[in-house]
Each structure stands twice: as structure tokens, then as C-alpha cells.
């Protein structure tokens, strides 16, 4: 009986973790920065991605800044579930990891680590479709270019980048920067927050503890 009770508690914990989060981070990545600082950058089998921000993930988070992960190891990624989305995802959610691939390994990682923690709200197909729909609502590159901020290897203030994205999208972004081999700080990722339905942007309750201050480079791709 004791063993059965402990098993029940364990299963309950798994179910709870799969349902319990406060908001999503919707994360877009600039491929120029990724490939400028990653020796292991490889273009996908479909070729070099377009010079646009691409999706990194849709990540459940808690208001205190922590996040759940790998919430249901029984609900593995199944590529057949998103077969109708594959071509769109290869364009807007490509992988840059080596070796080159069609993206399924990357998408599988995102589902297993993050998507399973929102499976009560979004099944696998809905999870990826929601991210694609959010992408259509948040054209980060257009927002920046409308403000005269271009991927031209020049440096721009972090504040001007944030203000441009807020004007274009309507919500305050978080920025994640990296450093290239010349010690230049570069804009790598943009974080926007989304409600628990995965449908609507909201103001972020918190941002990741990531350093991105002063002026940063917007590298070409």
C-alpha cells in the first residue's frame, strides 16, 4: 500500500508540473548573432535561412523567474503530429545546430523540454501552431527597421532596440545578448511574454537574468 501511495504521489507531481505555469516566453533568435559566435553553426538541409528573426521556442515560466522542464516523459515528440506545419517551421523555426538537419531534432527538444509542461493547454500540434501564429503577430525585424535599426554590423543602444520593438509589437521585450570573438556584444534573442493560452501577448511579469546593456551590435547575416 505504501508503494502504491508513493507512486500515486509521483504521478500527481508529474501531472501538476505539466499544468502549473504562469506565462510563456516566446523567444525569437537572430541567426547572424548565433552563427557569428557559435563555431558549431550549420545551415539546415534546406539551405541558409532567410535573414529574419526565427523562432527559438515557446517556454512555460513562473512569475518568480523559474521554469518547469521535461514535464511528461511519456509524451514524446511525434513528427507526424506536425506534418502539415513542417515546411512553415523549416522557414520560421529552422535549426542552426550541427550537423545539418531538417529541424526535427530541434523541434523534438523544444517539445520534450518545454511543450510537455503546457500539454494541458496545448497538445503537440497546437503548441507549434501557436508559436507560428505568435510569430505572425510579432515581426521583430520590421519593427527594428522601421526605427532605422538594421542588421548592418553597426551598434545600437539597447534602449532604442527595446523601444522600437515595443512600438512595433505593443509590448515590452526582454533582450539576450552574446559576445563574438572580437568581444562585441550582439543582440541574440528577443523575449516576449504570452498568456497561458499561448494566444495573446502580455506585459512580462519578469525577465530572465541575462545581461544586455549599453550598445550592442546588430550583425548582418
Q: Catalytic residues, which ones?
A: 56, 110, 114
β-sheet bridge partners, residue 177: 187
Please answer whether residues 119 and 18 qualify as being in contact, where contact means their C-beta atoms are separated by less than 8 angstroms.
yes
195-210 burial: b if 16+ Cβ within 10 Å, else e: ebebeebeebebbbee
Using alpha carbons, list the distances in angstroms from residue 38 to 33, 57, 76, 196. 8, 19, 28, 32
Under DSSP, the state recorded for 206 is -
Which triple of cell numbers denotes residue 215? 550598445
Q: Does 99 sit behind a cis peptide bond, omega within 30 degrees of 0 on the bond before it? A: yes
The residue count of the chain comes to 221
- CB half-sphere exposure, 163, CA atoms < 13 A: 8
Grid cell of 132 as nine digits: 507560428
Amino acid at each position: 500500500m505504501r508503494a502504491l501511495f508513493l507512486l500515486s504521489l509521483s504521478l500527481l507531481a508529474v501531472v501538476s508540473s505539466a499544468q502549473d505555469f504562469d506565462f510563456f516566453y516566446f523567444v525569437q533568435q537572430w541567426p547572424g548573432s548565433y552563427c557569428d559566435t557559435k563555431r558549431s553553426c550549420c545551415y539546415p538541409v534546406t539551405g541558409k535561412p532567410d535573414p529574419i528573426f526565427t523562432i527559438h521556442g515557446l517556454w512555460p515560466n513562473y512569475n518568480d523567474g523559474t521554469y518547469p522542464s521535461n514535464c511528461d516523459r511519456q509524451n514524446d515528440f511525434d513528427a507526424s503530429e506536425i506534418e502539415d506545419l513542417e515546411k512553415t517551421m523549416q522557414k520560421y523555426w529552422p535549426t542552426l545546430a550541427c550537423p545539418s538537419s531538417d529541424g526535427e531534432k530541434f523541434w523534438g527538444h523544444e517539445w520534450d523540454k518545454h511543450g510537455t509542461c503546457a500539454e494541458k493547454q496545448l497538445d503537440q500540434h497546437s503548441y507549434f501552431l501557436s508559436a507560428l501564429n505568435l510569430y505572425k503577430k510579432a515581426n521583430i525585424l520590421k519593427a527594428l527597421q522601421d526605427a532605422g535599426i538594421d542588421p548592418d554590423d553597426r551598434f545600437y543602444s539597447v534602449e532604442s532596440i527595446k523601444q522600437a520593438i515595443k512600438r512595433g509589437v505593443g509590448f515590452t521585450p526582454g533582450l539576450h545578448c552574446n559576445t563574438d570573438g572580437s568581444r562585441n556584444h550582439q543582440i541574440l534573442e528577443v523575449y516576449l511574454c504570452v498568456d497561458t493560452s499561448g494566444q495573446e501577448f502580455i506585459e512580462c511579469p519578469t525577465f530572465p537574468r541575462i545581461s544586455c546593456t549599453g550598445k550592442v551590435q546588430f550583425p548582418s547575416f
